[in-house]
Amino acid sequence: MIKSLNNELIDQITELFDAQLNYPVELVYFSKKDQCETCDDTTQLLEEIASISDKLYLRNFDIEENSQLAERYGIHLTPGLVIAGRDQDKLIDYGIRFTGIPSGYEFSSLLQSIILVSKRDSGLKPAIRNQLKELRKPVQLHIFVTPT
């Protein structure tokens, strides 16, 4: 099978992860056997990324066979990805989701999200954080993006 990532890119990501990853990260990934055009490519891409660092754990669930788990994470579409922190055998859900294949421009967003979760730090300015702490109602962001 042709790899999604070429060797040069793998080297770059290896260097990035070596420098930036701290705490373990779990990629809770939901795919579907049929009627999912980008699931196979996404599975391969995530497998290749996860193999780059021993701080990354990939778990691939069939959304139909694991519908309760998918529901718990609010995943309704595939490919659907939760980027969670891992603390011993517990997951820390920061509410970060990717729906659709994270390729093209989205690939760097994916790497960035993995790094932020691994650092357990949003990277936001202190003033912004303080104001966000005062929020008393849930805020749901849907960010529409394209790979190009």
Partner 1 sequence: MISAEMIEANEFYELAARYNVRGVPQTIINDNAGVVLGAVPEEHLLQEIKRII
Residues that bind partner 1 (CB under 8 A): 37-38, 74, 77, 95-102, 106, 109, 124-125, 128, 131-132, 135, 137-147
Which one, of 81, 86, 35, 96, lies nearest residue 56 by Cα?
86
Between 35 and 88, name the residue whose CB sits nearer to partner 1.
35
What is the smallest separation between the CB atom of 139 and partner 1, expressed in angstroms?
A: 5
What is the smallest separation between the CB atom of 114 and partner 1, expressed in angstroms?
A: 13
Q: Residue 116: CB partners within 8 Å, gap ≥ 6?
A: 122, 123
What is the smallest separation between the CB atom of 39 and partner 1, expressed in angstroms?
A: 11
Between 18 and 76, name the residue whose CB sits nearer to partner 1.
76
Between 9 and 132, name the residue whose CB sits nearer to partner 1.
132
Residue 29's SS3 state is strand
What is the smallest separation between the CB atom of 70 and partner 1, expressed in angstroms?
A: 14
Assess contact for 31 and 66: CB atoms under 8 A.
Answer: no
Read off the amino acid at residue 111: L
Buried/exposed 15-33: b ≥16 CB within 10 Å, e otherwise: ebbeeebeebbbbbbbbbe
Between 14 and 131, name the residue whose CB sits nearer to partner 1.
131
Assess contact for 46 and 81: CB atoms under 8 A.
Answer: yes
